[in-house]
Chains A and B, each alone.
Chain A
């Protein structure tokens, strides 16, 4: 077997690929309308995550902190949650959904956020806010477990679990996107519209590519409503695009409401988009229209211009969120490229059970490593000190120095991508995403050839 799946052989982390669970829960929370989360912990766990997400989206949005200080850390800090909820509700009269997101500190001290939510539901809400719709949702995201990816997964599950109701079947499909960009949501909605499918998209974050209006509007937020969340229970079926981000919510809906449910594959590349459409067809009975045949044709046409001449055999390293990394690797293989190193930034013990990884293990005929619990030093060290040769890196902005140190060109993809303009606007999913990705990769390789004078004359004729 040429493709090896193994854990990083160091114990510590040098240049992490992921941040911690609460960050994922926070990213999920901003997808909901009339929602402001309270992160229960020190202020840094919010302040920096807000900065991170706002660097990526170039937008601002709201997340609050319970601001745990020394006394709280010693004696317990549930009173900080109580106060935070009250202050938030007083000052943000439109807010209805308040997830209480735990952190490592409040999990270590054992603060009972479920208990405090019960207490608030019994006392504060009826006494001070009678008649106001408020949903307090405890979300446990200790940072010493999992990663931002599992944090996102847990939060989506908990939101769905909290709201989903059995009701009149509404004929809609739940589409759980996973951790994606506004551009991805737009592309997915486009595909659904072409298929004439009514869907409930979790989460509706297209609005994060928000306008600067003449009258001013100072925050951006997602537009998934409480109603949308409730209706997930009465949907006709559920399709979760990502196994690791939203997969748990899909399983819950399947078990609880008996909905036909499909998880994955992430529709990155032509083949996975085809499967996505096939799944849509299967779950809704709707045919795939001619317009998508055309759209697919445009993409295939574009890819054909690139594959054998430019992309074939290019050695690629990919890091980031697991579904993204796997999807990109699959697409690269279809493009005749050679993903040689896949870095998954957490220690999820189930990666070996992922059929997509198993398929690579069975079929890849050149040396390829898939490292779990990986960090960016796994990349840099291999290139600088162990002779790994790479032509291209795919990953998020935190690897920018690693790429520069390795002197290997890099296409920014995933989260966060703060060091390139506007990437949140472009999809990596669907046929459109396939074209965009392949062309980004090609153009990045071209620029690199020119600056390194590496067969730069090839491009004189194309």
Chain B
């Protein structure tokens, strides 16, 4: 039987079809966990809400926008400063958050007037920002405020501003994923096609489903720029509102997190004939293939190859140093959605770790298909796990490390499993070649932490080793390594800087000749 039943969940039989063990000879057609169904109340699931999926995951990484939530302050406060989506404009979107501050009287008499005053106030407080996104919340959805009408009214009164409305209240769907969907569709419907961009290259892409966590977008942007490709927009990390209104003019949509942003790529394909190319920005081989594919699409694969060769030569010896020391370490890969498939195979191949379990908080069955397809036999795949199930799984699987969110990470800590933050990263960026080495370095540091080692000792019962005043990570990781690996002169530890973005931000790029005439901006 491929379904896995948790002991703690025998009393809720609905859960039985949400976990699967990838058995020998079994395929996706034999077993697939259910997914994206309503959460069972009271299970202590990890899921968030659709407002968070729209505002916090996708909306707010847009960097030159006033992000205002229409509702009581709670939702705004709670989703503020809990992520690491940075930007190259001094992080306006991280620093400022706006709430219309709906109170009881507004619930009774309506909050549209309040909303309008708020919009005007917010633009006044930040006179250099001319773009705004308004997010509906549970309360204002239920009282039925017509946010679109108010936004329209303000745009007529203030002709230099543009406002996007996202109607995705918290209850709209089983998890944050409902919000991903809503904001994707609203953006293509209302904003794409309303700006005509300046085309500066023969090769024009949208980079979609990339949120610039700790600078991932900037790392990838560097590769594209080195290839002479114009990134018309990034949806949405480090992305600019007006650039995103011009998405319709790209030649290719390069899609990273399909979970959160495939909808807009699908719609762009139907409406404007822009093809969708799914890529992996994580891992040397997947990233190399991704760059090659983009290069091939434009007939500039030699440029991609040059980057792959250069970066591989620079960073592979460092990746392999870690791989030698991470072989067969057991990993629970427990992210929100897309990393489950981005990482499942490549951390095994390139870092040597064994993925013993994958889970997704808010993914759909399609994410599980990808994740299960990519992990090795025996892995336990869980949809919408809850607290007790996670703990049971950790006790059973005894992972050496888990990749998950901050709060579940605290649970892991207590049962002495090191954790890395799969959403916000420990010391990212983790995309790109150097980023991938940083990820390996973070895993290594997590597993071979001397303090972690000490946490297992019970001084009241165990023999206390009194022969050492310290232990280094090397002493732990190299203890059982064969000499030729330990002393391999071709391998080395990470040699990059703490902040690798500073160098990227000041960089200049070669000018490539443009063949097609510049398109006139309409």
Direct interface between A and B, CB < 8 A: yes
Please state if B125 and A377 are interface contacts (CB–CB under 8 Å): yes
Contact stretch, chosen from B8-16, B267-275, B492-500: B8-16
Please state if A398 and B413 are interface contacts (CB–CB under 8 Å): no
Q: Which 10 pairs, one residue from A and one from B, show the smallest C-beta to C-beta distance?
A: A20-B74, A42-B170, A44-B49, A84-B42, A84-B41, A48-B78, A87-B42, A105-B138, A12-B118, A60-B410
**Minimum C-beta distance from B56 to chain A (A):** 9
How far does the alpha carbon of A21 sit from the alpha carbon of B103 in the complex, in Å? 12
Chain B residues with CB under 8 Å of A377's CB are 125
How far does the alpha carbon of A18 sit from the alpha carbon of B102 in the complex, in Å? 14
| Among A49, A59, A65, A81, contact of B410 (Cβ-Cβ < 8 Å) | A59
Please state if A91 and B12 are interface contacts (CB–CB under 8 Å): yes
- The verdict on B414 contacting chain A, using a C-beta distance below 8 Å, is yes
Please state if B138 and A103 are interface contacts (CB–CB under 8 Å): yes
Contact stretch, chosen from B231-239, B241-249, B300-308, B454-462: B454-462
The interface bits of chain B over 1-42 (1 if a CB of A lies within 8 angstroms of the residue's CB, else 0) are 000000011011000000000000000000000000011111
Known: A11-B114, A52-B82, A105-B169. 7 other contacts (CB 8 A): A42-B49, A43-B47, A44-B48, A55-B406, A67-B38, A67-B47, A212-B416
Please state if A218 and B100 are interface contacts (CB–CB under 8 Å): no
Contact stretch, chosen from B90-98, B197-205, B309-317, B318-326: B90-98
Residue ID in chain B nearest A68 by CB atoms:
B171
Please state if B138 and A67 are interface contacts (CB–CB under 8 Å): no
| Among B44, B104, B414, contact of A64 (Cβ-Cβ < 8 Å) | B44
- The verdict on B143 contacting chain A, using a C-beta distance below 8 Å, is yes
Contact stretch, chosen from A137-145, A231-239, A336-344, A444-452: A137-145
Chain B residues with CB under 8 Å of A18's CB are 73, 77
The interface bits of chain A over 93-111 (1 if a CB of B lies within 8 angstroms of the residue's CB, else 0) are 0000000000111001100
- The verdict on A88 contacting chain B, using a C-beta distance below 8 Å, is yes
Residue ID in chain A nearest B117 by CB atoms:
A11
How far does the alpha carbon of A45 sit from the alpha carbon of B139 in the complex, in Å? 12
Please state if A212 and B98 are interface contacts (CB–CB under 8 Å): no
How far does the alpha carbon of A38 sit from the alpha carbon of B40 in the complex, in Å? 13
How far does the alpha carbon of A50 sit from the alpha carbon of B95 in the complex, in Å? 22
Please state if A12 and B117 are interface contacts (CB–CB under 8 Å): yes
Residue ID in chain A nearest B51 by CB atoms:
A44
Chain A to chain B contacts (Cβ below 8 Å), 10 pairs: A12-B117, A16-B101, A21-B74, A60-B414, A64-B41, A67-B41, A72-B171, A104-B137, A144-B107, A216-B415
How far does the alpha carbon of A172 sit from the alpha carbon of B227 in the complex, in Å? 75
Please state if B103 and A145 are interface contacts (CB–CB under 8 Å): yes
- The verdict on A73 contacting chain B, using a C-beta distance below 8 Å, is yes
Chain B residues with CB under 8 Å of A373's CB are 101
- The verdict on A365 contacting chain B, using a C-beta distance below 8 Å, is no
How far does the alpha carbon of A319 sit from the alpha carbon of B213 in the complex, in Å? 30
Residues on B close to A: CB < 8 A?
Answer: 8-9, 11-12, 38-52, 68, 71-82, 91, 94-104, 106-107, 114, 117-118, 121-122, 125, 137-139, 141-143, 169-175, 387-388, 391, 405-408, 410-411, 413-416, 455-458, 462
Please state if A54 and B407 are interface contacts (CB–CB under 8 Å): yes
How far does the alpha carbon of A68 sit from the alpha carbon of B137 in the complex, in Å? 13
- The verdict on A10 contacting chain B, using a C-beta distance below 8 Å, is yes
**Minimum C-beta distance from A165 to chain B (A):** 28
- The verdict on A381 contacting chain B, using a C-beta distance below 8 Å, is yes
Chain B residues with CB under 8 Å of A104's CB are 71-72, 74, 107, 137-139
Chain B residues with CB under 8 Å of A347's CB are 103
Please state if A14 and B125 are interface contacts (CB–CB under 8 Å): yes
Chain B residues with CB under 8 Å of A108's CB are 107, 138-139, 142-143
**Minimum C-beta distance from A266 to chain B (A):** 23
**Minimum C-beta distance from A342 to chain B (A):** 19
**Minimum C-beta distance from B194 to chain A (A):** 26
The interface bits of chain A over 1-26 (1 if a CB of B lies within 8 angstroms of the residue's CB, else 0) are 00000000011111110111111000
State whether A214 and B456 are in contact (beta carbons under 8 Å apart), knowing that A64-B42, A69-B171 are contacts in the complex: yes
- The verdict on A227 contacting chain B, using a C-beta distance below 8 Å, is no
- The verdict on A298 contacting chain B, using a C-beta distance below 8 Å, is no
Chain B residues with CB under 8 Å of A49's CB are 78
Chain B residues with CB under 8 Å of A73's CB are 138, 141-142, 169, 171
State whether A45 and B74 are in contact (beta carbons under 8 Å apart), knowing that A14-B125, A64-B44, A145-B104 are contacts in the complex: yes
Chain A residues with CB under 8 Å of B114's CB are 11-12
How far does the alpha carbon of A358 sit from the alpha carbon of B419 in the complex, in Å? 50
The interface bits of chain A over 36-63 (1 if a CB of B lies within 8 angstroms of the residue's CB, else 0) are 1010011111011111101100111011
Please state if B98 and A70 are interface contacts (CB–CB under 8 Å): no
**Minimum C-beta distance from A273 to chain B (A):** 31
Chain B residues with CB under 8 Å of A50's CB are 407
How far does the alpha carbon of A19 sit from the alpha carbon of B81 in the complex, in Å? 13
- The verdict on A90 contacting chain B, using a C-beta distance below 8 Å, is yes
Chain B residues with CB under 8 Å of A70's CB are 171-173
Chain A residues with CB under 8 Å of B75's CB are 20, 44-45
Please state if A42 and B411 are interface contacts (CB–CB under 8 Å): no
Chain B residues with CB under 8 Å of A353's CB are none
